[in-house]
Amino acid sequence: MTGPTGGPTGSSTGARPTVRVVLADDQPLVRAGLRVLMADTPGIEVVGEAGTGTDAVRLARDVRPDVVVMDIRMPGMDGIEATRLIMDEGSGTTRVLVLTTFDDDDYVYGALRAGASGFLVKDMALEDILGAIHVVAAGDGLIAPSVTRRLIEEFAARPEPTPTVRRTVDGITDRECEVLTLVGRGLSNAEIAAELFITVATVKAHMARLFAKLDSRDRVQLVIIAYECGLVSPPR
């Protein structure tokens, strides 16, 4: 299974560094269940739990986890605002993976714009959720396939940007613009390399420059930028 960015959503074999995780969910049973499952998973260590967005922000500030697994709907500060604060106040190493009940939430775009590196639904396979934690910790981004459709619908529902409001990508080269466009279309590095007749290593170099020039945290953010700049048009 893959997200729109072409990243894996399942776990992979091989040794991985231990990922320090904070669980943020207002339901104690959900947190307890996730903690037990993660305790039996090599390479993942739960270093804190939060029942509110405020507590999640505090924990992220205090323990500097690699990943905060964040629910959206929590009392007081919700997961979107908590994500925004964590990304604004963080050291740049903490990433947020939203894990929520999608049928009840209309906040996909808001969460990603707040800086979340991934958006998953709770009814996904456990191995996919655990694998996603490693993917996000490694600096990549991913979105559940069902959520991808919702994200595209969100873009499609927005009016076409005019030249005065469309986000610009000044400062990037023509080749980098081509790479950004293909990222926005959901192509993987290998697929981009084949499309442009260049090596995967060259694609990675272009990606690194795009991250720096566009102040983007991961591929998910680049997908959003590609849509906002009008480089990719959602299906209608």
Q: Which pLDDT does position 165 carry in this prediction?
A: 37
Cβ burial, residue 15 (10 Å; 0-12/13-18/19+): exposed
Write down how long the chain is.
236
pLDDT tens-digit map of 73-123 = 898 899 999 999 999 886 668 999 998 875 555 667 778 778 888 888 887
Contact 216, 227 (CB under 8 A): no
Question: Which segments of the chain are extended strands (E)?
Answer: 19-24, 44-50, 67-70, 95-100, 118-121, 142-143
d(CA 205, CA 218): 14
Contact 5, 140 (CB under 8 A): yes
Q: Which pLDDT does position 167 carry in this prediction?
A: 52
Instruction: Output the six-digit token pair for 179.
Output: 């790479």
Q: Which pLDDT does position 187 carry in this prediction?
A: 80
Instruction: Output the six-digit token pair for 191.
Output: 């697929």
Torsion, Cα of 132, 128, 1, 27 (10° steps): -90
| Dihedral (CA of 148, 151, 153, 159) sign | negative
pTM of the predicted protein model: 0.67
Contact 35, 173 (CB under 8 A): no
Q: Which pLDDT does position 100 carry in this prediction?
A: 82
Query: Rounded to the nearest 5°, which phi and psi values hold at 224?
Result: -60, -45
With b meaning 16 or more CB within 10 Å and e meaning fewer, what string describes 150-164?
A: bbbebbeeeeeeeee
Give the three-state DSSP class for 231: coil
User: What CATH number does the domain located at 174-228 have?
Assistant: 1.10.10.10
Contact 8, 53 (CB under 8 A): no
The second-level CATH assignment, the architecture, of 19-153 is 3-Layer(aba) Sandwich (3.40)
Contact 171, 56 (CB under 8 A): no
Q: Which pLDDT does position 59 carry in this prediction?
A: 94
Could you say which residues of the chain have pLDDT below 50?
1-13, 161-166, 236
Q: Which pLDDT does position 185 carry in this prediction?
A: 80
Domain ranges of the chain: 19-153, 174-228
